[in-house]
Structure 1
Amino acid sequence: MYDIIIKNGTLIDGAGGTPVIGDIAIKDGVISALGESIESPSELTIDARDKFITPGFIDVTSHSDTTWTLFDYPGQESLITQGVTTILGGNCGASIAPLISPHAIRSIEKWTDISRINTNWQGLGEFLSYLSGRPLGINFGTFIGHGTLRRGLIGDAPRALSPEEMRTMGLLIERSMAEGAFGLSTGLSYAHEAFATIDELSFYAKIIRAKNGVYKTHLRSEGGALIGAVNEAIRIGREAECAVHISHLKAIGKKSWKYIKTLTEMLELAHTNGITVHFDVFPYARTGSLLSQLLPSWARVGGFEKIFHRIKDPIMRERIISALGDLTLHYDRIIIASANAKHIVNKSIQQLAESGGLSPEEALLEILLVNNGRVSIFNKTLSVSRMKMLLEHPLAMIASDGSGYSDAHKKNGDLVHPRSFGTFPHFLHTCARDSQKLTWEKAIEKITSLPATTFGIARRGFLRKNYFADIVVFDPQTIKDTATYKKPFQYAIGLSWVIVNGKIALENGIVNSTRAGAVLKK
């Protein structure tokens, strides 16, 4: 007897093959049979008539770990209700293991109040073992955060590493790869990683390559120096002969939008020349980022403590204000999403400046000081047409660049980017159903088999016999995101069933308390 049989649905296998009507049977957490008609007894039979049956969706750029929502909301309901069954954390240079010194955990303080958390591990293997003992709603794997390692080794020192320090980093990366990491991530626009050289990064990428891992990068620039930043990533892949993945690829600011065509041509040429390179995109026109990242790079060196010192120094403060004034920032479009001072949430910097009798630049600095630097923003700086060009590109995957939440999170008074509740349904209904720019099978491939094969996520991402039963059943006519910037805590609609490792996590559109997620290792 099977545990579950899903009958009469349209099977989209994840590999890009032609959809077919059929059944799928599940036993002991894996897919046991697929066929035109499976006539056997089962504990549960699901009628998927007029619905699609697909592999579970994979979010390769998740921050559920570094925002601590993996622990606060282990059910990860906002992801389950999108059809996401697997996430990869440790992105953008920050991971929560390995922690080689007390300084290391400070790599996540820009997102999380580290005074409220406890870490019962040091090495990556210890962390994964600890996580295996906790109930998770989804599968979780991780990259090694370059910034976390670097900060653990040299603290806040703003400098290049010595050869000996690079070798130490290399040994730590090699050990973490052996303990199950999927690769190394960098966040080169952040002050603690900005001093990393191409030679340093290529050295690490060679270690990653030897373990069949991926070099995953948050680019050094997503604005005026975007082309150079993409070229740096390609060069690292070429020199190290390592697979490269660019996280949340985008062009920030109108002056940078023109670069999208050029950079996609660069990536295509690199791919043609044998460099394994991919990127991911979130399907929204507003970024969700940190207010502190608007400061000039020199003002961010050394972390929040040094930032606050500079803001309080009259001479340095004027320099920062002058540098901000040289930028073409539209303060009426920069909305506070989260802050310690809840009364400023959902207000623009322009509004806050006017109410306080300050210039927008002065208001920005005061907001950072009052909130200990932990302020996130929505910023309308992206081109919709260029974003769609990236979404449809053959080398693109779709990822949230967000975190998993419960709708209970709204009680804390902050906003989150709607991508955390709607990325995957938004992509599917806009690109496959509404515009029909992508076929359903191609759209599903971008969020299932392409990430699984690129990152080496074993026995997931396809509807195949003996593969783990991570499965989504949804109505192609009604799947849609409902989260907005003002009301983000709203689950997607149109998804009927989500199965994680053979267990029901979403039943008739309602998320349950099942925690069947597994900790994944490379």
Structure 2
Amino acid sequence: MEELVIRDADVVDGSGDDAYRADVVVDGGRIVGIVKEAAAAGCQRPKARRELDAEGLVLSPGFIDMHAHSDLALLRDPDHSAKAAQGVTLEVLGQDGLSYAPVDDRTLGEVRRAIVGWNGSGDDVDFDWRSVGEYLDRLDGGIAVNAAYLIPQGTVRALVVGWEDREPTPRELDRMRQVVAEGMEQGAVGMSSGLTYTPGMYARRAELTELCRVVAEYGGYYCPHHRSYGAGALQAYEEVVALTREAGCALHLAHATMNFGVNKGRAPELLALLDEALDAGADISLDTYPYTPGCTTLVALLPSWASEGGPEETLRRLADEETAERIRHHLEVTGSDGCHGVPVEWETIEISGVGDPALGAHVGRTVLESARARGEPLV
């Protein structure tokens, strides 16, 4: 006798068809039978050792979160009820080109500092891994949901090249290809990029193409947060479509939007670009979110040249009055590449969290409001 029958559920099976009433039989963690109400009429209904009455409830397959930043959250809270309670059964980690494997001791410290705003400091996590395989082994220790991992291209670049804005040497490019191949062999499903985040954004198209060739060899896919969602957004989409087609690699566009004001009404152009590529045989999918704002760290808005060399160099530049004024001009007048090529609107940037408890009063305020409260009005 099977393990479980879920009785009289309204089944939404993900096919796009209408919901239907059914008994669903589960055994060994797998669905082994679906008996629709019409098929059950006049015949014996399925039985199991345990029955769950789902009268009036909807039953569906688990949801896949294609863009999760739960890389450390899963280790802190293996029950992961925040997602599991919403029906999420698979999370795709390693997003936006920055995560915690593959690393060495130096790179791990740099990455932890760079994305502390995404995942916290990690002081409560034992970072006893360095490779992709070792990280996945930690997840296999017992988490409530499934997890898939994307090799973070920015982390790979930090490991091999560092945080400098330059092209890799041939030897460095070979090493990055090797690192990506090792990660795929150890269980990764593809590679991500954050092409408005350093150091991943320092990679030129040819470099990305070469890494995508490796991903394609292992049947993986490329998931870029591309170079701009603002000015030049369509050109940024065109770049990743073209390079993945050249590499023969499947493409999944991360949080694909046209939500900056400069792109108002241009979504049909993006859809036409993708439809044309699909008609030509490209393998493309995308995810998006149902709200207009985004969420990232404040440092991500800086021009890329201001972040070259890592956090210490960034702080040094911000402390220099002349350089800080140059940074401000890029942010507020010309539009920095970190802010997608458009001038930052401080009245729309809301502070959602801080690392220093002394700054807690600013949470929930916009940057403009916080500056005025400090007697430092922005222009």
- Could you state the TM-score of these two structures normalised by the residue count of structure 2? 0.89
* 1:163-182 paired onto structure 2 within 5 Å: 163-182=170-189
Q: Which residue of 1 aligns with 2:98?
A: 94
Aligned-pair CA distance for 1:114: 4.8
Distance 2:262 2:172 in 1: 39
Q: Give the structure with higher Rg (CA).
A: 2
Distance 2:31 2:250 in 1: 30
Aligned-pair CA distance for 1:101: 4.6
Amino acid at match of 2:34: L
| Greater percentage in helix | 2
**Which deviates more from structure 2 when the two are superposed, residues 122-131 or residues 349-358?**
122-131
Distance 2:58 2:253 in 1: 30
Equivalent residues of 1:10, 1:19 under 8 A apart:
yes
> Is residue 70 of structure 2 the alignment partner of residue 59 of structure 1?
no
Aligned-pair CA distance for 1:253: 2.5
Equivalent residues of 1:96, 1:105 under 8 A apart:
no
Equivalent residues of 1:104, 1:151 under 8 A apart:
no
Equivalent residues of 1:191, 1:302 under 8 A apart:
no
> Is residue 354 of structure 2 the alignment partner of residue 339 of structure 1?
yes
Aligned-pair CA distance for 1:228: 1.1
Aligned-pair CA distance for 1:40: 4.1
Identity between Structure 1 and Structure 2 (%): 28
> Is residue 146 of structure 2 the alignment partner of residue 125 of structure 1?
no
Q: Which residue of 2 aligns with 1:357?
A: 375
Q: Which residue of 2 aligns with 1:219?
A: 226
Aligned-pair CA distance for 1:163: 1.3
Distance 1:105 1:218, change over 3 A: farther
Higher relative contact order (CA 8 A, sep 6+): 1
Amino acid at match of 1:6: I
Equivalent residues of 1:205, 1:237 under 8 A apart:
yes
Equivalent residues of 1:8, 1:48 under 8 A apart:
yes
Distance 1:258 1:101 in 2: 47
**Which deviates more from structure 2 when the two are superposed, residues 93-102 or residues 159-168?**
93-102
Unaligned runs of 5+ in 1: 362-522
Aligned-pair CA distance for 1:17: 3.6
Distance 1:79 1:97 in 2: 23
Distance 2:76 2:348 in 1: 30
Q: Which residue of 2 aligns with 1:39?
A: 45
Equivalent residues of 2:74, 2:139 under 8 A apart:
no
> Is residue 243 of structure 2 the alignment partner of residue 239 of structure 1?
no
Amino acid at match of 1:167: D
**Which deviates more from structure 2 when the two are superposed, residues 293-302 or residues 23-32?**
293-302
Distance 1:117 1:51, change over 3 A: closer
Aligned-pair CA distance for 1:108: 4.1
Return the match for 2:56 from 41, 50, 55.
Answer: 50
Equivalent residues of 2:11, 2:19 under 8 A apart:
yes
Equivalent residues of 1:104, 1:149 under 8 A apart:
no
1:198-230 CA-partner distances (Å, limit 9, x unpaired): 111111111111111001101111110111110
Q: Which residue of 1 aligns with 2:339?
A: none
Return the match for 1:325 from 316, 321, 332.
Answer: 332
Q: Which residue of 1 aligns with 2:82?
A: 78
Distance 1:74 1:20 in 2: 34
Q: Which residue of 2 aligns with 1:265?
A: 272
> Is residue 221 of structure 2 the alignment partner of residue 203 of structure 1?
no
Distance 1:275 1:40 in 2: 44
Aligned-pair CA distance for 1:343: 2.0
Q: Secondary structure at the match of 2:92?
A: strand
Equivalent residues of 1:100, 1:149 under 8 A apart:
no
Aligned-pair CA distance for 1:196: 0.8
Distance 2:324 2:99 in 1: 32
Aligned-pair CA distance for 1:360: 2.7
Aligned-pair CA distance for 1:18: 4.2
Amino acid at match of 1:34: I
> Is residue 28 of structure 2 the alignment partner of residue 24 of structure 1?
no
Aligned-pair CA distance for 1:240: 0.9
Distance 2:50 2:215 in 1: 43
Distance 1:150 1:292, change over 3 A: same
Equivalent residues of 2:78, 2:144 under 8 A apart:
yes
Aligned-pair CA distance for 1:300: 2.4
* 1:448-459 paired onto structure 2 within 5 Å: none
Distance 2:193 2:221 in 1: 11
Distance 1:215 1:283, change over 3 A: same
Distance 1:46 1:114 in 2: 40
Cα RMSD for the two superposed structures: 1.8
Q: Which residue of 2 aligns with 1:12?
A: 12
Q: Secondary structure at the match of 1:103?
A: helix
Unaligned runs of 5+ in 2: 336-342
1:117-171 CA-partner distances (Å, limit 9, x unpaired): 43112221122122212x3121111010111111111222221111111111111
Aligned-pair CA distance for 1:271: 0.7
Distance 2:312 2:151 in 1: 25
Distance 1:303 1:258, change over 3 A: farther
